[in-house]
Amino acid sequence: MRRRTGILVLHVSALILFGAAVTALYPQETPPEAEEAGERSVDWYTERALEAVDSENDTRAVELLKEGQERHPQAVRLYATLGDLYFDEELYRLALAEYQQAERIDPNNFNVIHSAGLSLGRLNRDNEAVRYLERVVELYPDSLEAYADLGWMYFKTHQLEAGEELMLEAIEEFGEERTLTMTLGTIYADMYEYENAKRYYELSIESALADGRNYFASVAYYNLSLLQKAFHRFNDAMQSTEESLAQTERATGHLAKGELYEMQMNFRRAHEQYNRAYNLDEDTPLAKLDLAALYQTFGRLEEALAYARDVYESEDLHWMFNFGIDERRHHMELHGLLADIYRGTAHEVSMTPARSPFEWVSHTVQRIKHRVLAWYHDMTFNRYAAAAAEAYEEQGSQLNAQWTYFRAHEQYPRVAKRYLERARELETELIPDTEPLYAMHRAVLNEDPDAIAAAADSLHPRWERLDIAKGLREIARIARAQGDQSTAGRAAVELYRMNRGAIRQHGIELPVRVSVRGDRQDVARSVRGRLSGAGFRIVEDDALARGVVPPHLELEARADGRVSFRLTDEGRTVAGDTVEAPASDRRRAVAGAVARAVADAVFRVE
């Protein structure tokens, strides 16, 4: 019913030291007598490599460092410098290999084992990264950076109690340094401790603003907005996103703002924010994922699939480190989105009138293909969801575990209800405002349209419109299956008024009253007859359940072969156009083509 991927926070980690600082990190490793004999020293190779980097000739830098390693196989600095070069180019597997070779020579070198830990983190080898960073903290207890990075990895692996203990220890040692307070705030956010999380985020914001660190303050405001959104402080969340963007215009700030607009079902504003993020973000697929989900929600499935497939086909996952997300959760959400897109496409194809027998065959093949793809991605989603839930449970994150188990078993209502109830008990104690959402999920599992409607009526009419729309979708589906066309029709009309793109992709029919006029009423009546296969249900009554008046579709067929249509709803024109009917002796083919054009205009979200 809702996209719930946890609190997607952003980590501000220190950059690997490079350039002139490299020399200071490692002692001179070439014996003086060798330099006097004219041999090329470690310093010589390092300096020439850095000069090549400055000249943007990375290939030459690698050649120099590799040659230096052959001449000085025990020189830690050459391996570490090459590792730093690979790290800066996001070649983390190559970087790790260099750091681990340096580690074999000098097992306790701070830069080597710390950088190896960060490389493992970028490669999403989380448990290994934790072990490396624990070693760094043990060997170098005076390093604030080591504490901050280990705390972040504890968060990423949901070892929240260990992370809390470590960060409190670090704050006692180093004071309320903003990197530490922000990491601790993030840990408390994942522990659902609102006041503690808010307090430490605000401390990090105050510190950053006092020192003119606008970028850091922007990240902290962003994290705060996600916390506020999770706890249903929606107005506060919007204000924090505004503050984040005022400090620095970053992609994640636009994403957070876009998600708040999407919750309001404001397609135009959400789309604008996601596009701004897309133009700013070259390093992560987050904007693509949000655009894909937005397009899917509003029925623009071809565009949704293009973005989702682009992410699906990418093998670059290093961005997850900075957002505290693991591969299982990422793949779970991605496969769930793809399943929804393919299932929606199958429904749309089934509601697209064929213009010929050959096209009917083509539609049948496409429908089967997309249903199979939806089934595959559903099964893959379930597998990743079960794995993610098990990981949450092992790490002691019970609320996230029970919720994810529920999502993995939604097709088995009796099993899903148990997990849903356990999640409800845990979350509503922390966030009472989530009770209506749980009531809605329970009603959907029970296939009870009246209970779904009652839960939807308890949701926030502005901020939870996305969930209200999903509730209406479920009412329309369940009521139709139960033979209650009046309730199904009322839900379909209300859903259409919120999101016209939700109708066909969910196999819902929109009730409409149809009037026919013009010189060629026989053509108009043929078009009217084909509308039933194009996402419409023609009704004769002026009112459905609860007095809902269905939209009115006017068809006018002219002697010149053109057909005009206009859909009005609640006193306003929703869609209208004039269609040039294709030249054909077959009235059914003409009617099918016009009905398709009418449906595409009526159900298209711009």
Closest CA to 293 of 509, 604, 4, 601: 4
Helix (H, G, I), strand (E, B) or coil at 15: coil
- Specify whether the CB–CB gap between 21 and 8 falls below 8 A: no
Q: What is the DSSP letter of 556?
A: E
Instruction: Supply the pLDDT for residue 449.
Output: 97
Distances (CA, A) of 460 to 94, 360, 434, 496: 50, 44, 11, 19
Instruction: Supply the pLDDT for residue 129.
Output: 96
Q: Which two tokens mark 62?
A: 């690698």
> Which DSSP string corresponds to 484-548?
-HHHHHHHHHHHHHH-GGGTGGGTPPEEEEEEEESTTHHHHHHHHHHGGGTTEEE---S--GGGP
What crossing angle do the helices spanning 251-263 and 465-481 adopt, rounded to 10°? 50
> Which DSSP string corresponds to 592-606?
HHHHHHHHHHHT---
The stretches in the chain having pLDDT less than 50 are: 1-7, 14-24, 28, 30, 32-38
DSSP bridge partners of 537: 511
Q: Which two tokens mark 67?
A: 């040659």
Cα 370 to its chain centre, rounded Å, is 22
Percentages helix, strand, coil for the chain (3-state, rounded to 5) are: 70, 5, 25
Closest CA to 498 of 534, 553, 456, 561: 456
Helix (H, G, I), strand (E, B) or coil at 423: helix
DSSP bridge partners of 566: 554, 576
Q: What is the DSSP letter of 356?
A: S
Contacts of 63 (CB under 8 A, 6+ apart): none
| Amino acid of residue 494 | E
Q: Please report the sign of the dihedral spanned by the C-alpha atoms of residue 327, residue 330, residue 336, residue 340.
A: negative
Q: Which two tokens mark 407?
A: 């999502």
Instruction: Supply the pLDDT for residue 435.
Output: 97
Cβ atoms < 10 Å from Cβ of 509: 23
Give the whole-angstrom CA distance, residue 490 versus residue 548.
Answer: 6
- Specify whether the CB–CB gap between 180 and 151 falls below 8 A: yes
Give the whole-angstrom CA distance, residue 503 versus residue 603.
Answer: 7
Q: What is the pLDDT of residues 167-184, one digit of tens each?
A: 999 999 999 999 999 999
> b or e along 189-228 (b: 16 or more beta carbons within 10 Å of the residue's beta carbon)?
bbbbbbebbbebbebbbebbbeeebeebbbbbbbbbbbbb
What crossing angle do the helices spanning 160-174 and 178-190 adopt, rounded to 10°? 160
Contacts of 587 (CB under 8 A, 6+ apart): 522, 523, 526
DSSP bridge partners of 102: none
Q: Which two tokens mark 369?
A: 């293909």
**Claim: this prediction has a pTM higher than 0.95:** no
Give the whole-angstrom CA distance, residue 147 versus residue 170.
Answer: 7
Cβ atoms < 10 Å from Cβ of 515: 12
Give the whole-angstrom CA distance, residue 422 versus residue 273.
Answer: 36
